[in-house]
C-alpha cells in the first residue's frame, strides 16, 4: 500500500488545509487543489501526479509498480472520490481553475463530452495518439468521445468495454431457439420466452441508466439519436413500448440500475439483455458459461444486415495546466502501448482498448475474447451520443422515456420532447 500510505500521511500532516481529501479511496475521499509539482513527503520528489479512480483495487500497487518500473517515473497518486457527483465536481474544479497540482486525470465518457472542447485538456495527436497508434482503437469511439471540435484527440482509452448482448442459453434451449440474429428472431424469442413471471427482454430503465438502451435500439433500427424527426427513432421507441404492452419486458424495471438487474438475470427472469462488462456478477453466481449466461452477437434489425454496438472507457487525459508535461507524455505513451494495456488487463481486468494488443495479451481461454473480436470487426462501433451538459441530458431523456413506457405520454409526444431536449442541450 506504499503510494496510498504516502497520500494518507500527507493528508494527516495537512489536515487543516485544502488537502483533506488525499485519503484511502473511501467514499467522498479524493484530492483537491494544492498539490504542486514534486508534492508528497518532504524528502521525496515526484515526476507527476495522477488522479486515479483505481486506488481501491487490490492490485493497484502492483499496477503502479509496473508503470513506474517501465517508465522510470516516480508517480504521486491521489485517490479520486468514489461518489460520481463528488468526483466530477472536484475534477471540474481542478481543470477549470487552471490548478497545476494534478497532471494526469482519469475521466469517464460523461466528463470527456463535457470537457473535450473546453481547452482544459492537452491535445495528444503529435505525442501519444499518433496516426499509427490511433488506427488500433475503435474509430467511432475516438471520433465520438475523445476528439474535440478542432480534431485534437484529448484522451488515451484505458480499456474497451462493450454494451454487449447477453443471452440465457438455458432458456434458449428450453424454447428451442438456436440464434437471435434478426429482428424477426428477436420477436419470436420474445413470444416464446415471456410468461409466468419471465420476460424475453430485461433492461436497466432507471432514468439515468436507460439512456444506454434507448440509444442502442435507435441504432439498431438505423436511427439517429440526435434527430428525433426520423421514422427509425420512432420505430425504436414504439418497439420498446410494445414489448411492455405485450408483457415481454417489465415496466417495473424503470426502478432498476444494473445492480438490481443482474441478480434478476442470474435468477432466470430474462431471456436476453444488454449489459456492460465481462460478466463478473454472473461468474460470481456460477451462471457464466456457454451453456448458461454468455455474450452473443448483436442482432441486426435493418434490411442491410448492419449491426451496431457501443463501447465505453475511462480515459487518461493531460491537464493543460500541468508543469510536468514531459513526464506526463511518457506516462501516456506507456498507457497507449502494449505494456501499459497488458498491465491494466492483468491487474484491473480491463480489456485492452487496442484490438492488436488484445489479440496478443488476452489468452484464448478468456470467454470474452472471441465475442469482443467479433464485435470489433462485424459491428459499427461507436461511443454513446452525449452532449456537453451530459447528465442533465441523460436524466431528462430518461424521465420522458419512463413517462412514455408508462403510457403518460404517447410515442409521438416522446419524440417531440426528445428533439426539444436535443436542441436545448446542443445550444
Q: Is 267 exposed, middle or buried (0-12, 13-18, 19+ CB in 10 A)?
A: exposed
**380-382 vs 308-312, strand pairing mode:** parallel
Q: How many CA atoms lie within 13 A of 122 on its CB side?
A: 25
- Can you read off the three cell numbers belonging to residue 71? 517508465
The set of residues, in sequence order, having a beta carbon less than 8 Å from that of 362 and lying 6+ positions away, is 345, 351, 352, 368, 369
pLDDT at 208: 94
Q: Assess contact for 52 and 106: CB atoms under 8 A.
A: yes
pLDDT at 27: 29
CA-wise closest residue to 250 among 218, 273, 230:
273
Mind giving me the DSSP string for 24-82?
SS-TT----TT--TT-SSTT---SEEEEES-TTSTTHHHHHHHHHHHH---EEEEEPPS
Q: How many CA atoms lie within 13 A of 328 on its CB side?
A: 30
Question: For residue 272, how far is the Cα from the chain centroid?
Answer: 20
pLDDT at 29: 29
- For residues 362 and 403, what is the distance between their CA atoms, to the nearest angstrom? 43
Q: Assess contact for 121 and 319: CB atoms under 8 A.
A: yes
pLDDT, one tens digit for every residue, the chain (427 residues)? 444 434 433 343 333 333 333 333 332 223 333 333 333 444 579 999 999 999 999 999 999 999 999 999 999 999 999 998 899 999 999 999 999 999 999 999 999 999 999 999 999 999 999 999 999 999 999 999 999 999 999 999 999 999 999 999 999 999 999 999 999 999 999 999 999 999 999 999 999 999 999 999 999 999 999 999 999 999 999 999 999 999 999 999 999 999 999 999 999 999 999 999 999 999 999 999 999 999 999 999 999 999 999 999 999 999 999 999 999 999 999 999 999 999 999 999 899 999 999 999 999 999 899 999 999 999 999 999 999 999 999 999 999 999 999 999 999 999 999 999 999 999 7
pLDDT at 224: 98
The set of residues, in sequence order, having a beta carbon less than 8 Å from that of 16 and lying 6+ positions away, is none
Q: What does pTM read for this prediction?
A: 0.86
pLDDT at 367: 85
pLDDT at 85: 87
Amino acid at each position: 500500500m506504499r503510494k496510498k500510505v504516502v497520500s494518507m500521511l500527507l493528508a494527516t500532516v495537512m489536515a487543516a488545509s485544502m488537502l483533506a481529501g488525499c485519503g484511502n479511496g473511501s467514499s467522498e475521499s479524493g484530492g483537491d487543489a494544492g498539490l504542486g509539482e514534486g508534492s508528497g513527503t518532504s524528502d521525496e520528489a515526484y515526476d507527476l501526479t495522477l488522479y486515479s479512480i483505481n486506488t481501491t483495487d487490490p492490485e493497484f500497487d502492483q499496477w503502479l509498480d509496473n508503470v513506474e518500473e517501465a517508465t522510470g517515473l516516480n508517480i504521486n497518486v491521489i485517490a479520486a472520490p468514489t461518489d460520481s457527483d463528488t468526483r466530477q465536481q472536484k475534477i471540474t474544479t481542478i481543470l477549470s481553475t487552471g490548478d497545476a497540482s494534478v497532471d494526469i486525470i482519469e475521466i469517464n465518457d460523461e466528463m470527456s463530452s463535457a470537457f473535450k472542447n473546453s481547452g482544459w485538456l492537452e491535445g495528444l495527436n503529435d505525442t501519444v495518439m499518433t496516426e499509427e497508434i490511433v488506427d488500433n482503437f475503435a474509430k467511432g469511439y475516438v471520433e465520438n468521445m475523445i476528439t474535440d471540435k478542432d480534431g485534437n484527440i484529448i484522451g488515451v482509452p484505458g480499456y474497451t468495454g462493450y454494451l454487449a448482448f447477453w443471452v440465457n442459453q438455458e432458456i434458449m434451449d428450453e424454447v428451442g431457439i438456436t440464434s437471435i440474429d434478426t429482428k424477426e428472431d428477436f420477436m419470436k424469442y420474445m413470444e416464446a420466452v415471456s410468461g409466468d413471471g419471465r420476460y424475453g427482454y430485461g433492461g436497466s430503465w432507471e432514468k439515468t441508466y436507460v439512456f444506454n438502451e434507448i440509444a442502442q435500439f435507435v441504432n439498431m433500427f438505423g436511427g439517429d439519436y440526435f434527430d428525433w424527426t426520423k421514422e427509425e427513432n420512432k420505430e425504436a421507441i414504439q418497439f420498446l413500448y410494445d414489448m411492455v404492452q405485450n408483457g415481454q419486458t417489465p415496466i417495473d424495471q424503470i426502478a432498476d440500475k444494473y445492480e438490481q438487474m443482474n441478480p434478476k438475470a442470474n435468477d432466470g427472469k430474462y431471456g436476453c439483455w444488454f449489459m456492460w462488462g465481462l460478466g463478473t456478477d454472473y461468474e460470481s453466481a456460477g451462471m457464466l458459461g456457454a451453456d448458461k449466461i454468455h455474450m452473443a452477437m448483436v442482432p441486426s434489425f435493418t434490411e442491410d444486415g448492419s449491426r451496431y454496438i457501443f463501447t465505453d472507457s475511462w480515459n487518461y487525459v493531460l491537464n493543460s495546466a500541468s508543469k510536468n508535461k514531459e513526464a506526463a507524455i511518457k506516462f501516456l505513451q506507456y498507457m497507449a502501448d502494449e505494456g501499459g494495456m497488458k498491465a491494466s488487463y492483468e491487474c484491473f481486468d480491463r480489456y485492452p482498448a487496442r484490438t492488436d494488443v488484445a489479440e496478443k495479451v488476452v489468452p484464448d481461454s478468456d470467454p470474452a475474447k472471441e465475442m469482443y473480436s467479433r464485435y470489433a470487426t462485424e459491428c459499427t462501433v461507436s461511443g454513446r451520443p452525449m452532449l456537453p451538459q451530459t447528465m442533465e441530458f441523460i436524466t431528462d431523456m430518461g424521465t420522458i422515456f419512463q413517462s412514455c413506457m408508462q403510457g403518460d405520454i404517447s410515442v409521438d409526444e416522446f419524440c417531440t420532447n426528445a428533439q426539444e431536449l436535443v436542441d436545448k442541450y446542443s445550444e
